[in-house]
Chains A and B, each alone.
Chain A
Amino acid sequence: MTDQEQSAVWAESALRYLDALDAGDVTVLAELWEQAALNPRLEQVLGELTDGLAIEEGPSPQWEHDAERVRGLLRKHLPSGFREETEPPPLTVRDVAARLQADNALGARLTPEDRAANSRLLADTTPIPDELGLSHFDKWQTTLGVRASAHYWRAFRQAAVLLTMGRCQRAGELAAARRAGRAPMGGRP
């Protein structure tokens, strides 16, 4: 396409867009933007004019200055786009060991052998089982291949139970939030 043809196409698109804007014809505006989805040149024309109109004739483009507001809206409209609102990953041996290590009071009560065992478990990504009853847990912990005192495994199990409960609560809150935010289906295109 020659410069002259491009210029004519630009002018036609621009005038059609401005006509529709001034006439309040949202159908034509929607059609133009739909066409622009497949036509980068048209998208550029429409984007340029819309941005230019904001500067020339208002409203002033203050949206971008209020980043927190925009982020809040995006969080509301696109909740799963934010990491903190996604489902937590499965709880692992490493998570529990890290929790035990972070607890200074508990750490002080562990023997050097138990602390060494805990350090080894910090690298273990085995998922914590759903069933944390004593008999199941005793059998399961032997599969980890780390020797520690009964006192240590009791503390480990309690920490695992508490962390699992916390995650279940968080998952429940997220599910409730999703249910509350879910609107009826429908609409076009």
Chain B
Amino acid sequence: MCGHAANRSAEKLDEARAQSLRQAIERDYPLLLRRLAVIVYRVCGRLRRDEVAERVEEVLGEAVKRALQTAAAFDPQRSATAWLMGFALHILQEQRRPRRAVVQSDLGDEAWRAVLEDLHSADDADATTIRLDIRQALARLEEAPRRALELRYFKGLDGEELAKALDAPTSGAARVRVARALRVLRKTFAACKDEESHD
């Protein structure tokens, strides 16, 4: 009897998880399509627009199918949308040729963290060596990335304020500009350090 009751209870739990997953898929499907399209567009290279759409539909369809097949393993504490994105990306990876190597930071983690922390600080009085290096690297940046970093880290703008100041259509777009600028700064900073070591 106890065994049957436990089985029924487990079945109910599985059904509740599957239902919760199904609702999340239905609710966030357009979002999943759109985000996956961005990733496919960037990582699959040289695909026409209709080919991107076709690949996204194929990958997401398979992801939904597999997710529902393993719905019992879905932890409702997780974000279903992010979980599905992970699923979809594994499927995309299965379908792709051997990957290219990831670009790694030119700096060690500790040095890079120091750069980020320093960028965030608006206190000019504490002029450390690393701060001078960053100023030097910043000065070498083009106007657009330099402005994005100054507004974000020196003036402390974020969200809608940052988007408005950068004339970006959304706060997400503004954050992309900041992230892109950080990447340029990282390369420039590394180049400055190399020049110093050669001198």
Contacts and interface: CB of A to CB of B under 8 A. Distances in A.
Contact of B85 (A7, A33, A56, A81): A33
Contact of B176 (A49, A61, A76): A49
A54 B34 contact: yes
Given A29-B43, A78-B22, A64 B172 contact: no
Interface residues of B, number: 76
B89 A78 contact: no
Interface string A20-34: 111111111111011
Q: Is the interface of A mostly helix, strand, loop or mixed?
A: helix
Interface string A135-163: 00000000000000000000000000000
A12 B90 CA distance: 22
Contacts of A81: 22, 25-26
Given A15-B179, A55-B172, A78 B64 contact: yes
A50 B35 contact: yes
B184 to A, nearest CB: 11
Q: Is the interface of B mostly helix, strand, loop or mixed?
A: helix
Interface stretch (B4-12, B92-100, B134-142): B92-100
7 contacts: A4-B121, A19-B183, A23-B101, A37-B82, A40-B79, A49-B175, A63-B37
A59 B37 contact: yes
Contacts of B127: none
B197 interface: no
A74 interface: yes
Interface of A: 3-4, 7-8, 11-12, 14-15, 17-31, 33-34, 36-38, 40, 43, 46-59, 61, 63-64, 67, 70, 73-74, 76-78, 80-81, 183, 185, 187-189
Given A8-B116, A40-B79, A59-B37, A21 B173 contact: no
A15 B189 CA distance: 15
B86 A33 contact: yes
A61 B34 contact: yes
A51 B34 contact: yes
Given A64-B34, A77-B61, A26 B89 contact: yes
